[in-house]
Structure 1
């Protein structure tokens, strides 16, 4: 019996290994970071919206992600960042489908949740807001929903946007980690990744709307970013490209990969970013369009 027990333990440990260089399917950073060579090349994508409920859209969105992955891999980037709304409804099955498809990226892939993954930000009088249960479901499949990591000469602070202003127990834990990470400037350039843009038009715009961070967490996050010398905050959510600046910080929003009518604008796409050692950012938008359907016989 003892021999059988040890054999079973050995098999379990073997299965748990990131076997033969395959990237871990969870949102973690386990591999040694390569030596920094500037500029660092980063692919920035968002709003994939993998779906099971919308049956007609399911194969379309999966194919759109596959095509985006092929385009990203062709650019030989150092890192891939995904700005949330990985799925449509935040189900375990959708998370696993996203996980399966994302393994085809050649570079390490880091991501944060969006409102479709774990619930909308808390707005008074609005329903269907973020819950601890939904956040835990996300983390049980995809790994940490906020994190601080360094790779190839850049540091990224991943922030769980829907938690901001939620009052949930997870929010205070996240703020503590973000504050530690942004307490001072880093030896390498630092980017912040969060699903919601801080604002659309100006820092003075009100909260209580779907499209931005609420004013209080917005001010707190921007203040920490300024304190740490952060030059770039990346976001998604709007399904369009948008660039703002605030006190020397570039606020960059990318459009969607997964959804949108190909006959209309704004087009779907992603961004190739180049980051210099001093944090200067190069922005190179990439447009993707659906391939025409083959003619019917």
Structure 2
């Protein structure tokens, strides 16, 4: 299976028009690619309203691949109507779906609930949903890919809590689950930094972005090949002078 990962399209973060042009270039290159589906790891626009989200989705209509959206913090709180707009126009805050290769199950989660609403009924519901999906996938002998907005950790699973990672108790709980259920990969964004780690057999990927790259690497997206228990990836740049 060949899967693309995008993170933080977030059009309007610094400079609207170049960010929109890079999103369009990503769509063009995705259509040219052999990717079978695309996972977008949150923050569709910098300020999410019904009108701005409709603009984003109008652009995404040009993408001729199945798209799986993951909610980000800007999709929840960048505007009073953000969450309502997202759930109305895109879908639920968390869900699961089979990928083009039905041997793989995608679980999309809302990390905002873990970071900002940990005591909410919605967070408790998502926790139970995740536990059930993991158990069901194991019973069905499906490989699991989890997609989130925030990364579990940035550099070290024991690092201090910051804006860009999960709270330590939640982080430990999730890492234990990933190990127990042998999750293949966890795809994320949020930090606007590209990095990759492997821990206890799970690949952790924070993808390049088409908006603002805080680490100064290229703008773009990732192409993953899942085959024979192995995972390979490369970056596809959308800059004027691509490096990959």
Task: Give the alignment's TM-score, normalised by structure 2.
Answer: 0.88
SS of 2:149's equivalent?
A: coil
Deviation digits for residues 115-170 of structure 1 (CA, Å, limit 9, x no counterpart): 22213xxxxxxxx8x99x74333212211121110022221100111111412221
Q: Is the 8 A contact 1:64 1:290 kept in 2?
A: no
List gaps (5 residues or longer) in structure 1.
Answer: 1-39, 120-127, 292-297
Matches within 5 A, 1:25-36: none
Task: Determine which structure has more spread, i.e. the larger CA radius of gyration.
Answer: 1
Match of 2:147 in 1: 193
The 3 A distance-change label for structure 1 pair 290 and 145 is farther
Matches within 5 A, 1:15-164: 40-51=1-12, 57-119=15-77, 134-153=82-101, 154-164=104-114
> 1 CA distance for matches of 2:201 and 2:182?
9
> 1 CA distance for matches of 2:114 and 2:228?
30
Q: Is the 8 A contact 1:255 1:268 kept in 2?
A: yes
> 1 CA distance for matches of 2:237 and 2:108?
25
- Tell me by how many angstroms 1:86 deviates: 1.0
Q: Is the 8 A contact 2:50 2:82 kept in 1?
A: no
Q: Is the 8 A contact 2:5 2:207 kept in 1?
A: yes
Match of 1:203 in 2: 157
List gaps (5 residues or longer) in structure 2.
Answer: none
Is structure 2 residue 128 aligned with structure 1 residue 176? yes
Root-mean-square deviation (CA, aligned residues, Å) is 2.3
Which 10-residue stretch deviates more, 264-273 or 243-252?
A: 264-273
Is structure 2 residue 238 aligned with structure 1 residue 288? yes
> 1 CA distance for matches of 2:228 and 2:168?
31
**Superposition misfits of 4+ residues, deviation over 4 angstroms:** none
> 2 CA distance for matches of 1:169 and 1:94?
29
- Tell me by how many angstroms 1:61 deviates: 2.0
SS of 1:195's equivalent?
A: strand
SS of 2:132's equivalent?
A: helix
The 3 A distance-change label for structure 1 pair 260 and 247 is closer
> 1 CA distance for matches of 2:56 and 2:240?
19
Q: Is the 8 A contact 1:45 1:83 kept in 2?
A: yes
Matches within 5 A, 1:232-247: 232-247=185-200
